[in-house]
Structure 1
Amino acid sequence: MDDTLNRASAVNQDIAGRLAARLERLPRTTRSHRAWMVLLGILFICDLMDSNSLAYAAPAIRVEWGLSVAQIGQLTSYTFLGMFAGAILGGRLSDRVGRKRTLVWATVVYSVASLLCAVAPNLAVLGVLRVITGVGIQAVTGVLIVYVAEMYPGVSRGRCQALMLGIGFLGVPLVAVVARSIVPLSPSAWRWLFVLGAIAVIPALVAKWVLPESVRWAAVNGRSAEATKTVERLEAEASGPLPEIVEPTALHERKKSSDLFAPDMRRRTIVATLTVTFGVLGVYGFTSWVPTLLVERGFSTPEALTITTIFSVGQPAGALFGILLSDRFQRRSASLVLTTIIAALMLVFAFTGAYWVLVTSGLLVTLLLQTNTAVLYAYLPEVFPTVLRGLGAGFANGFGRLAGFGNAFLIAAIATGLGFGGVFTTTAVFTLLAGLTVGLFGERTRGRRLEEIGENLS
């Protein structure tokens, strides 16, 4: 029986390698790729709207329920706790049951939980619901970046990740504009921000019927006919003669979670995890706390929401700027340069006394943070083999979100003890550490086939 299973697995690995080679040789994205990108982008818009809704609702929640800054930090930490679980669980499920199925059900989970947040009667109930919301949100994010890595040709993989982020980050100014419009209307108007999360069910249902399963996952898991049909469709849509197929790289059969720390995988896992962890501490330390800390600095809630709405425009712009960088420069080098610039701008933001310097530096920080996110989202799934890609990316993301859970308490303590400048000096240090980690110890991935990077571990 074991010999039969091993032979079947070897056949699946061989078919998967050949289909991946056919997918990688595509000289450009096709009509189907572009249609999928629209749907993936819409799913990501909904995901990021829900992810950011609490930051914009927090000042009003604090006033209505009489919460302290520390309690707002506690509430923020609940989302990160859910994100930790969602990253690990979503990554593992996507490796076991498929990218598509995990994507659809994770979207449904956070949509329902977000809708329930809108009727939460107190901090405890809202906290529990934000944990559940965080599970779904981060599972969706992890699957989206893995799906793009596996379904788009290597020649444009980085640009496609940046494009998906650029579309998705439109959700941030959208939720900011909605918050600026409705939160000041009444003490409980913030609840409508969470109602928005339920609309994600609509694109999830569309994805269930329209989106194909990842070619690489389907082939490795014995669904080669389905995977072959998808590849043939893409080849037919590609105009002009196709390049010769490069000899496929042998795929790994390992599937245990502990394989992430096998001798030939350990360095990649640690570097990816530390990079994401420091990056999360920097990004969320900045974006999640700006509205609340601006109010603490003396701005009114409407003024703080106006400023953060301006900042939010930088999120899609920054991700789209990543299109120019992701496939033009090595991801690790681009990240190091970007994080150095971001850290300097965070220090300007932390200590300036001039209104327009604060607004301009904050906007540039927000923009370049998402440019760096686009670069790292392209990098992260590339360094793991197919059978561990969901889990590997999920582990790195999950550990980062667990650090974000602790960071919520850290930022609250720093805000209380050292104030505005202390908080954003801290985020500058974390951001620079993320760039140094991947820049000095990361893998070279630009222009290489996914199997060449993820499967060659020597």
Structure 2
Amino acid sequence: MSGTPASQNSLSQRLDALPFTRKHGRVLTGSGIGWALDAMDVGLISFIIAALTQHWGIGRAESGLIASIGFAGMAVGASLGGLLADRFGRRQVFALTLLVYGIATGASALVGGVALLLVLRFFVGLGLGAELPVASTYVSEFAPARIRGRLIVILEAFWAVGWTAAAVIGYFVVPVDENGWRWAFALGAVPAVYALVVRWGLPESPRWLVSRGRGAEAARIVAEFERSARGPVAAEPTGDAARTPARTPATRPDAAGRAGFASSAGGRLAALWSGEFRGRTVSIWVVWFCVNFAYYGAFIWIPSILVEAGFSLVRSFGFTLIITLAQLPGYAVAAWLIEVWGRRLTLSVFLAGSAVSAIVFGTVHAEAAIIGAGMALSFFNLGAWGALYAVTPEIYPTSLRATGAGWAAGVGRIASIVAPLVVPVLLTAGGAGLTFAVFSVFFIVAAAAAWGLVDRRGKALDDR
């Protein structure tokens, strides 16, 4: 039996049988901190753009370009990051992404003009784009099946922590003086240091190790998690689980008896469009594209829109901070519902709520109404993000998981490139009302596309 899928299945079953342990908490927290740092960087740019509009006198076109160039890097990074993670491992690529965008963000504090800032923002985007799908894939492969969706939503909730940190920095640091934005960028260099913690402090995914023929190493990691559970612990694995011989995934049969999916980068990309996965791939790409367009189009521009509406820089940043805080309960509700309603229903309901909130936000003018509608948009939109990150890694097998998640995120980043450039045009043509009505349409399309996904609530991951 050595070298058969049974070896992989036995380890997967042991992972799914575990309770939530301290080691799960360490994987979740370690990945979540990286996620929060990612969000902090993305969130900071919205405040920095508003500040540079005043200090450098840049216009809407340059502001949109500064935002979009980072998302261009994220599109490339997400696509490459998934491929690299399926080839070289989740942990290795996760650490590398933190290092790349941390260094580039810190260097941004020293720029003296738009041109160099654009170059550095592209490299920041490379790291940011690769980190998110790799991190969600990494955590999903450790999580027991019965709570997997909930843990991924909790991971995504770290985004709210990071975005709130960005809002705090934006409120207290950026407006201090004309160099406040430089100090904000300097704080964004923290991920470069944290990359060392990830590289040496977190284990590699056992599912990935087995897929690369490193069964003994995978078995040791699973046994460590079992010991952490403080329950009956299996003896150090022997037999199939420990003797899984080195073999290439190209020789591992899939369900149809064909060659395995992970024979090459090109083979993995082609497999995303095979008969089994084509419908899922189309649906997840549409959802990612629409959610990215509406989310980044709205939240990157909200501080600037409020300034243009007549609020002071500090006041608009204060409104944005309050709006941002509503993300946390959105994640909490989604984390509960995703294991009750399932992935598709939770995702579609939160997207529908986002659509309604966007319409309201674009039409109100009173301060209380702006804050209330903005908080509703934060609540529903970020709850939808949590559900989206939960469902994306689950719809593909282990040999395709990071590639599939990375390319879905990469397609989404195309929308995040376009959105900051389109928003100034929409604002000029029809103001906030037209702009947020367009966002609402994108949310509705995403809600419909979500029903083309498979829902694996409570089911084991596909370890082919």
What TM-score comes out, normalization by structure 1 length?
0.92
1:58-457 equivalence runs, <5 A: 58-240=49-231, 251=254, 253-255=260-262, 256=267, 257-438=269-450, 440-451=451-462
When structure 1 is superposed on structure 2, of 310-319 and 387-396 the one drifting more is 310-319
**In 2, Cα distance between the equivalents of 1:209 and 1:322?**
32
Between the aligned partners of 1:250 and 1:232, the Cα distance in structure 2 is 26
- Deviation sequence 1:214-253 (CA, Å, 0-9, x none): 011011112211110111112223355699xxxx997561
- The answer to whether the 8 A contact 1:325-1:375 is kept is no
Deviation at 1:316, TM superposition (A): 2.8
Higher mean C-alpha deviation, range 233-242 or range 71-80: 233-242
Q: Distance in 1 between matches of 2:390 and 2:96?
A: 24
The amino acid of 1:88's aligned partner reads: S
Find the counterpart in structure 2 of residue 3 from structure 1.
none
Amino acid aligned to 2:34: L
Q: Is the 8 A contact 1:251 1:385 kept in 2?
A: no
CA–CA separation in structure 2 for the residues paired with 1:13 and 1:97: 21
Q: Which residue of 1 aligns with 2:237?
A: none
Residues 325-378 of structure 1 show CA distances to partners (whole Å, capped at 9, x for unaligned) of: 121112111111111122111111110122101101101111221111111111
Q: 1:383, 1:356 → 2: CA distance?
A: 41
RMSD: 2.0
Amino acid at match of 1:258: A
| Deviation (angstroms), 1:13 | 4.6
Deviations 1:391-424, CA, capped at 9 Å, x for gaps: 1001110011012112222112101211111111
What SS does the aligned partner of 2:3 have?
A: helix
Greater than 6 Å deviation, 4+ residue runs:
none
Letter in 1 for 2:292: V
Contact kept in structure 2, 1:276 and 1:400, CA below 8 Å: yes
1: CA distance between counterparts of 2:175 and 2:338? 40
Residues 111 and 133, structure 1, Cα contact 8 Å, conserved in 2: yes
Equivalent residue for 2:16?
24
Distance across 2 between alignment mates of 1:444 and 1:36: 24
Residue identity in the other structure for 2:9 = G
Deviation at 1:14, TM superposition (A): 4.3
Comparing 227-236 with 201-210, greater Cα deviation is found at 201-210
- The answer as to whether partners of 2:391 and 2:455 remain within 8 angstroms in 1 is no
Cα distance, 1:44–1:12 mapped onto 2, change above 3 Å:
farther
Scaled by the length of structure 2, what TM-score is found?
0.91
AA of the residue aligned to 1:254: F
Report how many residues are paired: 439
Match of 1:4 in 2: none
Q: Tell me the amino acid that sits aligned with residue 176 of structure 1.
A: A
Secondary structure of 1:142's partner? helix
Q: CA deviation at 1:97?
A: 0.5
Q: Is the 8 A contact 1:17 1:251 kept in 2?
A: no
Cα distance in 2, alignment partners of residues 37 and 428 from structure 1 = 32
List gaps (5 residues or longer) in structure 1: 1-6
Of 307-316 and 94-103, more deviation after overlay is shown by 307-316
Report the Cα distance in structure 2 between the residues aligned to 1:385 and 1:69, rounded to whole angstroms.
Answer: 43
Specify every segment of 5 or more residues in structure 2 that has no aligned partner in the other structure, as ranges: 235-240, 242-251
Give CA-to-partner distance per residue, 1:34-93, whole Å, 9 cap, x none: 122221121111111112110111111112221111221111110110010010011011
Distance 2:78 2:446 in 1: 19
Whether the aligned pair in 2 keeps the contact of 1:251 and 1:386 (CA below 8 Å) is no
1:183 is paired with a residue whose SS is coil
- 2: distance between equivalents of 1:37 and 1:390? 17
In structure 2, the partner of 1:35 is 26
Aligned to 2:249: none
Shift of the 14–124 alpha-carbon distance from structure 1 to 2, 3 Å rule, reads: farther
